[in-house]
Amino acid sequence: MARQIGEVILDLRNISLSFGGVKALTDISFDVREHEIRAIIGPNGAGKSSMLNVINGVYHPQQGEIVFRGEHRKDMDTHAMAAAGIARTFQNIALFKGMSVLDNLMAGRNLKMKCSFLQHALWWGPARREELAHRRKVEEVIDFLEIEHIRKTPVGRLPYGLQKRVELGRALAAEPSMLLLDEPMAGMNVEEKQDMCRFILDVNDQFGTTIVLIEHDMGVVMDISDRVVVLDYGRKIGDGAPDDVKNNPEVIAAYLGTQH
Amino acid sequence: MIYRETGQFKTSYAADQQIFPIRQDRIGILLLLAVAFLVVPAVAGNYWFNAILIPFLIFSLAALGLNILTGYAGQLSLGSAAFMAVGAYAAYNFQVRIEGMPILLSFILAGLTAAGVGILFGLPSLRIKGFYLAVATLAAQFFIVWCLTKFPYLSNNSSSGVISVPNVEILGFTFDTPQSRYLLVLSIVAVLALLAKNMVRSTTGRAWMAVRDMDVAAEVIGIRLMRTKLLAFAVSSFYCGVAGALYAFCYLGSVEPDGFSLDLSFKILFMIIVGGVGSILGSFLGAAFILLLPIFLDIALPALSDLLGLPFGSATVSHIQLMVFGALIMFFLIVEPHGLARLWQIGKEKLRLWPFPH
């Protein structure tokens, strides 16, 4: 592989998050290096999605510090993170159901479009040129994900596997430098999973996008990720290369249970 | 003529992003506009202008405004009539208080005033959604009507808040015939409908729909919820405000605050529900349905009673009218919850394959 794993660009330090009395995350620290594929795994309810929500500012941790590209922050803000090039997909597909695939992807690029609503209303000059220029970019993503045939279809009518792919497309349309994927392969059959793996690896390889991934399919995780962090009950129980994690007794205990 | 796009290849994104990508549609809309601008004024009588066409266009505009807010941005509102009232009274005040104020500028300022009021009453949408928001906009409905009755200044000190508007005059031409008023309203509505269509097919509209469909995801891709929602309130109220100004100046001639009651707000809401939520065309279809159906029943029911030899009293006729009206609305909602616009779309899709559906 040509890609070079770079410096640490995202460093989470001692993050704790609770909802009322429920502790979702307790004192979690891990980092993400540029261009790597970083997996977060753990049993259900381990706090994996909460972790992603902390990274892109949907949740605000009570304790801890986040360092993103040298910038120290107490918590993140969704808009600032989108502007800084973090895009994500959701565990339960969060597409805009009433809009076509094309519109969903175009919406993904909204931050790059500068015209005001008055210019849009007139549809003249800059607004039109901007729309066409971004359409060209979006078509590249459509081409990359092989979804040309459904570009005008409302996403609500698409089958599940394709919706997952469109959601990846919406994230990619923003040309992110970091991509957070929350169970991109959940509920897919083997072929769909293979396709999705290929897309993820291609994105990582061709665009150098850093990928943080939550996934339950251990085969996939061990195959494609560079480093894996394991959570259980909101605590970090393992961190390292796939092979190390696989042989970590605590991780095995969390997944298979231990004999007492 | 066979309706299908076979052979019409798009070679540029510009061609693919037209409002009407299919040639037959483009010809159709041009024909429709030609008929509306050239043929209708020549053949329609005063009754048609005053009782059907002008109110139809004005209500289409108001429905379009509400559709932007409710259909596209997903914010339920019951205050459309109040925003129309703001538009009507604002246009009146600009007109009578400022000497030599051009009427079109008054209309625009009326729209902007309504937009400002709309933003104010849209602020609760930042915290609450759905039915709760609808109740909050209900406050606009009652508060604005109360203000217009309570403060004589707003109606230029006329008794009980009734305003009688001056004649509409543009560059020395007085719009005193129904025909000329129809053309004025038609032009304004056509332009505003085009602007609305442009907004909803661009980033602005996509942001509205994104907020409607999945607000968390919208936020994560960088859409600012507050700005998007308030913009929807502003644009929607602008449309309602202009509709209100036209309602006073080109349709009724004199209006009172109670004319802009909750009933009217509901009527506009029914228009978009029946016509199609989230569709520009639906606003027009819905307005036509809600306005024309009572008129049609008015004519059809007595004719029916004659035919059957049953002497209906006029009270019975009006009761039956209400019942049939209600039944038809329910029928439409059950058969096609997405409204007449969806029926039209399905019809077109069927037509594309006809007569070989396989």
What is the predicted pLDDT for the residue at B207? 96
What is the predicted pLDDT for the residue at B355? 74
Q: What is the mean pLDDT of residues B43-47?
A: 87
Among the residue ranges A178-187, B136-145, B158-167, the one predicted with the least confidence is: B158-167
Banded model confidence at residue B293, pLDDT cuts 50, 70, 90: confident
Whether pLDDT at B274 is above 70: yes
Among A82, A96, A121, whose Cβ lies nearest the Cβ of B214? A96
What is the predicted pLDDT for the residue at B185? 95
User: What is the C-alpha to C-alpha distance for residues B4 and B23, in angstroms, rounded to an integer?
Assistant: 9
Among A98, A111, A131, whose Cβ lies nearest the Cβ of B17? A131
Partners of residue B112 in chain A, C-beta under 8 Å: none
Q: What percent of chain A lies above the pLDDT cut of 70?
A: 98
B30-52: string of b/e by CB count within 10 Å (b at 16+)?
eeeeeebeeebbeeeeeeebeee
What is the predicted pLDDT for the residue at A258? 67
Report the greatest alpha carbon distance in chain A.
Answer: 72
CA angle A28/A29/A33 to nearest 5° reads: 140
pLDDT tens across A111-124, in order?
A: 988 888 988 888 88
Q: Which of residues 183-222 of B touch A (CB under 8 A)?
A: 195-196, 198-199, 202-207, 209-210, 212-214, 216-222
Q: What is the mean pLDDT of residues A76-84?
A: 88
Q: What is the mean pLDDT of residues B248-260?
A: 91
Q: DSSP string spanning B121-159?
A: HHGGGGT--HHHHHHHHHHHHHHHHHHHHH-GGGGTT-G
Give A44-58 as a 3 state SS string.
Answer: CCCCHHHHHHHHCCC
User: What is the C-alpha to C-alpha distance for residues B289 and B276, in angstroms, rounded to an integer?
Assistant: 11
Q: Is B240 in contact with B84 (CB distance < 8 Å)?
A: yes
What is the predicted pLDDT for the residue at B34? 93
Whether pLDDT at A70 is above 90: no
What is the predicted pLDDT for the residue at A71? 87
Q: What tokens does B123 get?
A: 């602020």
Put simply, the answer to whether A79 touches B219 (Cβ < 8 Å) is yes
Banded model confidence at residue B357, pLDDT cuts 50, 70, 90: low
Q: What percent of chain A lies above the pLDDT cut of 90?
A: 63
User: How close A89 comes to chain B (CA, Å)?
Assistant: 8
Among B198, B222, B223, whose Cβ lies nearest the Cβ of A120? B198
Domain boundaries, chain B: 33-353
Partners of residue B202 in chain A, C-beta under 8 Å: 115, 117, 120, 123, 127, 131
Q: Is A110 in contact with B207 (CB distance < 8 Å)?
A: yes
Whether pLDDT at B127 is above 90: no
Q: What percent of chain B lies above the pLDDT cut of 90?
A: 52
Whether pLDDT at B55 is above 70: yes
What is the predicted pLDDT for the residue at A56? 86
Among the residue ranges A89-98, A249-258, B56-65, the one predicted with the least confidence is: A249-258
Average pLDDT of the residues of chain B: 89
- Asked if A94 has any chain B CB less than 8 Å from its own CB, the reply is yes
What is the predicted pLDDT for the residue at A17? 93
Whether pLDDT at B184 is above 80: yes
Whether pLDDT at A68 is above 80: yes
Q: What is the mean pLDDT of residues A57-76?
A: 89
What is the predicted pLDDT for the residue at A200? 95
- Asked if A84 has any chain B CB less than 8 Å from its own CB, the reply is no
Whether pLDDT at B101 is above 90: no
Q: What is the mean pLDDT of residues B30-50?
A: 90
Q: Is B232 in contact with B239 (CB distance < 8 Å)?
A: no
Q: What tokens does B291 get?
A: 């306005």
Whether pLDDT at B358 is above 70: no
Whether pLDDT at A214 is above 70: yes
Chain A's closest residue to B196, CA to CA, is A121
Whether pLDDT at B106 is above 80: yes
CATH code for the part of the protein at A8-85+176-256 = 3.40.50.300
Whether pLDDT at A259 is above 80: no
What is the predicted pLDDT for the residue at B2? 64
User: What is the C-alpha to C-alpha distance for residues B160 and B163, in angstroms, rounded to an integer?
Assistant: 9
Domain boundaries, chain A: 8-85+176-256
Rounded alpha-carbon distances, angstroms, from residue B97 to B39, B78, B232, B257 = 38, 30, 30, 19
Give the up-direction half-sphere exposure of residue A122: CA atoms within 13 A in the CB hemisphere: 9
Q: What is the mean pLDDT of residues B202-229?
A: 93
Q: Is B269 in contact with A151 (CB distance < 8 Å)?
A: no
Partners of residue B205 in chain A, C-beta under 8 Å: 120
**Which of A78, A106, A131, A153 would best serve as a mutation to test chain B binding (most B beta carbons within 10 A)?**
A78
Average pLDDT of the residues of chain A: 90
Higher pLDDT, A235 or A254: A235
User: What is the C-alpha to C-alpha distance for residues A238 and A40, in angstroms, rounded to an integer?
Assistant: 10
Contacts A–B by Cβ distance under 8 A: 105
Whether pLDDT at B1 is above 60: no
Whether pLDDT at A2 is above 60: no
